[in-house]
A = this chain, B = another copy of it.
């Protein structure tokens, strides 16, 4: 199974990622899961069993009606589907509070998805190693991105520097961004941007939390 099914929705991709993490982290009495039924996986992930079965059918994975899905095989199948062979190297742009938290959060979490370089205009960070990741001056971006075969960027700078950082990375062949700056990145249709706006997400909760109390 290769990931040539580009037509899959990003919601499906998101759920596959979540199934993997649910399976990885749910030891029963500290033993890894052997088999799991779709309704069990559904309950752990917070979706319906129908949706779980449909998603796994989409990636060509089937279970045993009596025993459910073999968890190790399912993990392997999702990995082959989601992970690039050899892994994906990621650059972090911005080593402020958010950037440092992202380093701490992502380092060693996914072996196939590594933040291999961080860039920050503040010379205080240049050549420092934070959470196992070396920080560079933006002046070295061209060299480092090529040397380390970086294909993805995480933008954790304020709005004002975000587009410029994305433009530079795109010229170096980066085709995907996780953007935390509260600004819409202008990119060609061949580049994928996933925007996470923390303030917006928090304000949404505030709005709905208030509705239910009034």
Q: Which residue numbers of A lie inside 8 Å of B, CB to CB?
A: 3, 6, 10, 13-14, 17-18, 21-22, 25, 44-47, 82-84, 88, 90, 96-98, 100-102, 104-106, 109-110, 113, 151-152, 154, 159, 173-178, 182-185, 190-192, 194, 196-213
Q: List 19 A-B contacts (CB under 8 A).
A: A3-B211, A10-B204, A14-B201, A17-B200, A18-B200, A44-B184, A45-B184, A46-B183, A84-B206, A84-B210, A88-B210, A105-B198, A110-B199, A152-B209, A154-B202, A175-B210, A176-B212, A177-B205, A191-B212
Query: Which one, B84, B96, B106, B212, contacts A192 given CB within 8 A?
Result: B212
Interfacial chain B residues near A109, Cβ < 8 Å: 199
Instruction: Report whether B184 and A208 are in contact in the complex, using a CB–CB cutoff of 8 Å.
Output: no
Interfacial chain B residues near A177, Cβ < 8 Å: 205
Interfacial chain B residues near A210, Cβ < 8 Å: 3, 84, 88, 151, 175-176
Copies in the complex: 2
Interfacial chain B residues near A199, Cβ < 8 Å: 17, 21, 106, 109-110
Chain B, Cβ-Cβ closest to A88: B206
Interfacial chain B residues near A82, Cβ < 8 Å: 203, 206-207
Chain B, Cβ-Cβ closest to A109: B199
Instruction: Report whether B3 and A175 are in contact in the complex, using a CB–CB cutoff of 8 Å.
Output: no
Q: How far is the CB of A4 from chain B (nearest CB, A)?
A: 8
Instruction: Report whether B203 and A17 are in contact in the complex, using a CB–CB cutoff of 8 Å.
Output: yes
Given A21-B182, A178-B205, 17 new contacts (CB under 8 A): A13-B204, A14-B204, A17-B203, A17-B204, A21-B199, A44-B183, A46-B184, A82-B203, A83-B206, A84-B210, A97-B101, A100-B101, A102-B198, A106-B202, A176-B210, A190-B212, A192-B209
